[in-house]
Chains A and B, each alone.
Chain A
Amino acid sequence: MTLGYTGGWVNGRPVSMFLFLKRPDDTVIGYPMTGVPRDGAIEFTTYRKAAKARYLAANDRVCVVIVEDDDPASGVALWGRCYRIDQAEFIPARPGAGPTAVPDSVIDTVRERLDSGKRVVFRIEVDRSRPPRRVAAANAET
């Protein structure tokens, strides 16, 4: 699905985001993550045995807040369903492409763990979004 609001994200250029999902006990947990926009969807990797992978297998509904690189007080919220895709479909970001410089050795390790199946790839198909919002400053009048 094509997003109504794309945030100007570039295909394959990593973004900082917070991923919120439901656990089996119906509570919500959030994780700081790096996501990779891809054709209107958002992809990310995690360990196959990670708690979030188990939670997503049980409930695919997620909310993601993507934060502006140069203004962490601004972000857009997206809702959608999340599912695993073949690791071979994932295109790792180029070194230096994301908001945080990642050492080459770390990129190599992620690639190896994707190849071995230790890490897996999830894709979020976005159903709806909320326009960008900037949080009120501490001293703002309400």
Chain B
Amino acid sequence: MPKRDIRMGAKEIDDFLSRCEVMAVGTVDADGWPTATLSHCEFRNGALLLRLDPTDSVAASAVTCAQLCCVADEHVSYYEIRGVIVHGRPSFVDKSVRVEIERRSGFDFGKLQR
């Protein structure tokens, strides 16, 4: 049986990011370990704005190594499980981190039923 395609389209990812308030954000620390935290987020003008200031160790590592992966999901019920993964280039802007999105993908378990 062919595998179901549960990938989100560009508009579905935009819609998901527009209603998303919290993401898990991860990068690599100075010792080469993956490291992560939760952050408030806003999707604005095609970029993510994270409420992490320069004293946050994950934000500082992300800007140093110039990479950040942001992930969020919804799971009200099994067939409403959706998630988005964003890769981007972070920089400090005022007391926040702005992430210029380079790649993104999303999945929607609701598509398993269609």
Contacts and interface: CB of A to CB of B under 8 A. Distances in A.
Contacts of B24: 18, 20, 30, 32, 65, 67, 75
Contacts, number: 108
Contacts of A100: 75-78, 81
A138 to B, nearest CB: 6
Interface residues of B, number: 35
* Majority SS at the chain B contact face: strand
Contacts of B37: 65, 75, 77, 130, 133
A125 to B, nearest CB: 14
B63 interface: no
Interface size class of A (residues with CB under 8 A): 35 or more
Contacts of B26: 18, 20, 28, 30, 63, 65
Interface of B: 21-22, 24-28, 32-40, 42, 51, 53, 67-73, 75-78, 81, 83, 85, 87, 95
